[in-house]
């Protein structure tokens, strides 16, 4: 029984690390992610009310989708399960390939090739270098010590050309490897794949985003109730404490079109605080948190007073009126609704009111006050001007910019960056610095030596053969010249004596 179970597990392991299993898992994941593009997902609805409205309109479909969590496909149990299978499959495949890669990089003892290199003499692509014997300086007989010198010359010749040399131990066989560690690129590339997947999943499931409206001079510190349009993270739900104080807003316009935006603010992250400058597409980043200024508008300061000058209510009201729209606001516990049109640089032409630009050079508001849907006041107010109605007085005291910030907290950028670098490194190692091998065998005869050379390359076989022919010619010149010079030096020494 146990033997049968062991055989079954072994067969499953063999199947699980096969390309077929990988293809099946990837196909299922692709189908699941494609399903998310077809089936309405919860996260894509603007608000909870919109989603509930869709459920009411489609009760049967919504019941099926919610039961199977197909409306949250990216975090559904079946998606998580197949992602786990994918990671397990990738880990098993890489783990199975590690010994093979280490052997090919000659990093394991058992990776050493067969030391009997004499067999390369019979190969179809072998090259041979023929060398004569000479009487050499410091030696007693022809050829004495030459074998070791020839091996040393070959080693030096190849080392200068960045070949890694592995001696076979018999004094006449050499293995030379160019780009010896190129096979490790396979591990780097697959490790990069894992890191990129981990980074992508972290970005997807840990991402928090929320919009935050702040008026110049206003302080914010980690009050989650002030955020709107929040996207909740699936993991790491706690948001690091952050603080923002908007000090100055500097928009730039050309022809009524915004060209630049600078927001000077005091930014606090945990216990660190600093003055920062936020520009368009240049957010402030601290740790996993990024703050981006996405839009601006104006916040007029209205103060409501009684007839005796006593202040009743007021404040800076965030309105979307900068570009000619009409907006409105109400004051707490008062029956009035205030409708506002805003002119940043007020002007009149032939009785028509307009704004020359979007810069706050001559701000004027057109104010219409309603009570029970009846207008009780309508007119224009400049800065420090007031209007009276129903025994009250409303004053337009000041105007400041507000900034719509996008606050993002996400993890995963570091694994993505490291994975990208490792992936590029792995591809370069495998496709540019691919591995080449040369095998040398030195054969001795009565009148000289023969150096047999055979080689192979992972890619570009034909160009490698041409390179090998050139290398053998250069090696022959080096060996012949070295032996001849030592022979001539030996003759000079003999004549001198």
Q: Write out the chain's pLDDT in tens, 497 residues.
A: 677 888 788 888 888 888 899 999 999 989 888 888 777 777 666 666 777 787 788 888 878 777 777 777 877 888 888 888 988 998 898 888 898 899 888 887 644 555 678 888 888 889 998 887 654 444 444 454 678 888 899 999 999 999 999 888 788 889 999 999 999 999 999 899 889 888 988 888 888 989 999 999 999 998 888 888 788 888 888 888 999 999 999 998 887 787 889 999 999 998 899 999 998 888 999 989 999 998 999 999 999 999 888 999 999 999 999 988 999 999 999 999 999 999 999 999 988 999 999 999 999 999 999 999 999 999 999 999 999 999 999 999 999 999 999 999 999 889 999 999 999 999 999 999 999 999 999 988 777 889 999 999 999 899 999 999 999 999 998 888 765 554 434 333 333 33
292 and 302, same domain (yes or no): no
Distance CA 95, CA 194 (A): 13
26 and 90, same domain (yes or no): yes
Of 37, 46, 45, the closest CA to residue 70 belongs to 37
273 and 303, same domain (yes or no): no
Asked, for residue 111, whether it belongs to a domain, the answer is no
349 and 372, same domain (yes or no): yes
165 and 257, same domain (yes or no): no
317 and 228, same domain (yes or no): no
Asked, for residue 112, whether it belongs to a domain, the answer is no
325 and 373, same domain (yes or no): yes
| Secondary structure (3-state) at 470 | helix
For 201-251, the DSSP string reads HHHHHH-EEEEEEEETT-EEES-GGG-EEEE--SS--PPPPEEEEEEEEEE
CA dist 459 to 120, 213, 431, 464, 465, Å?
Answer: 21, 59, 8, 8, 11
217 and 265, same domain (yes or no): yes
Query: What's the pLDDT at 491?
Result: 37
Where is 466: in which H helix or E strand? Answer: helix 461-496
Asked, for residue 109, whether it belongs to a domain, the answer is no
**Burial degree of 238 (CB within 10 A; 0-12, 13-18, 19+):** exposed
Distance CA 326, CA 322 (A): 9
Asked, for residue 389, whether it belongs to a domain, the answer is yes
Look up the CATH number of the domain holding residue 473.
Answer: 3.30.310.80
Asked, for residue 216, whether it belongs to a domain, the answer is yes
Number of folded domains in the chain? 4
Distance CA 142, CA 134 (A): 5
Query: What's the pLDDT at 391?
Result: 92
Distance CA 480, CA 132 (A): 8
170 and 318, same domain (yes or no): no
- What residues contact residue 89 under an 8 Å CB cut-off, 6+ apart? 16, 17, 21, 22, 25
Residues in the chain: 497
Q: Any idea which residue has 């309405």 for tokens?
A: 40
290 and 415, same domain (yes or no): yes
**Burial degree of 162 (CB within 10 A; 0-12, 13-18, 19+):** exposed
CB-CB neighbours of 94 under 10 Å:
18
Question: DSSP label at 66?
Answer: H
Distance CA 136, CA 246 (A): 87
Task: Give residue 292's domain range.
Answer: 189-296+405-422
272 and 413, same domain (yes or no): yes
313 and 386, same domain (yes or no): yes
Query: What's the pLDDT at 346?
Result: 94
**CA 474 to chain CA centroid, nearest Å:** 46
Asked, for residue 277, whether it belongs to a domain, the answer is yes
Asked, for residue 71, whether it belongs to a domain, the answer is yes
**Burial degree of 355 (CB within 10 A; 0-12, 13-18, 19+):** buried
Q: Confirm if 108 and 99 have CB atoms less than 8 A apart.
A: yes
């Amino acid at each position: 029984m146990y033997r049968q179970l062991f055989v079954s597990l072994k067969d499953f392991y063999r199947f699980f690390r096969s390309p077929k299993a990988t293809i099946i898992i990837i196909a299922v994941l692709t189908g699941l992610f494609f399903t998310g593009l077809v089936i309405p997902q919860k996260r894509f609805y603007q608000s909870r009310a919109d989603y509930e409205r869709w459920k009411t309109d489609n009760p049967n479909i919504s019941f099926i989708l919610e039961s199977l969590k197909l409306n949250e496909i990216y975090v559904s149990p079946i998606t998580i399960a197949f992602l786990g299978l994918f990671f397990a499959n990738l880990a098993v495949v890489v783990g199975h390939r590690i010994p093979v890669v280490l052997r090919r990089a000659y990093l394991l003892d058992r990776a050493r090739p067969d030391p009997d290199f004499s067999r390369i003499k019979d190969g179809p692509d072998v090259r041979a270098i023929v060398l004569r014997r000479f009487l050499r300086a410091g030696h007693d007989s022809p050829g004495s010590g030459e074998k070791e010198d020839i091996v040393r010359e070959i080693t030096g010749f190849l080392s200068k050309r960045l070949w890694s040399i592995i001696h076979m131990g018999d004094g006449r066989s050499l293995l030379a490897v160019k780009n010896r560690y190129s096979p490790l690129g396979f591990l780097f590339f697959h490790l990069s794949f894992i890191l990129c997947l981990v980074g992508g999943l972290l970005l997807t499931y840990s991402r928090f985003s929320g919009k935050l409206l702040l008026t110049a001079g206003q302080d914010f510190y980690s009050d989650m109730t002030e955020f709107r349009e929040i996207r909740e993270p699936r993991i790491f739900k706690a948001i690091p404490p952050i603080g923002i104080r908007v000090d100055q807003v500097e928009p730039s316009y050309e022809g009524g079109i915004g060209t630049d935006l600078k927001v000077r603010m005091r930014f606090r992250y945990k216990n660190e605080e600093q003055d920062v400058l936020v520009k368009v597409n240049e957010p402030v980043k601290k740790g996993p948190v990024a703050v981006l200024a996405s839009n601006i508008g104006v916040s007029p300061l209205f103060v409501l007073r009684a007839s005796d000058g006593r202040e009743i209510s007021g404040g800076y009201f965030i309105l979307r009126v900068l570009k000619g729209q009409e907006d409105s606001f109400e004051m707490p516990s008062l029956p009035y609704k205030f409708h506002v049109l805003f002119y940043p640089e007020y002007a009149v032409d032939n009785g028509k009111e307009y704004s020359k630009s979007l810069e706050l050079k001559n701000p004027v508001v057109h104010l219409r006050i309603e009570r029970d849907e009846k207008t009780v006041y309508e007119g224009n107010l400049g800065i420090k001007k007031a209007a009276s109605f129903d025994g009250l007085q409303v004053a337009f005291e000041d105007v400041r910019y507000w900034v719509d910030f996008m606050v993002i907290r996400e993890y995963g950028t570091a694994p993505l960056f490291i994975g990208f670098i490792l992936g590029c490194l792995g591809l370069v190692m495998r496709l540019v610095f691919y591995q080449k091998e040369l095998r040398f065998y030195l054969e001795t005869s009565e009148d000289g030596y023969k150096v047999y050379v055979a080689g192979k390359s992972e890619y570009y076989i034909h160009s490698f053969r041409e390179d090998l022919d050139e290398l053998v010619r250069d090696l022959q010149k080096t060996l012949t010249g070295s032996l001849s010079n030592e022979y001539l030096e030996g003759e000079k020494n003999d004549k001198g004596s």
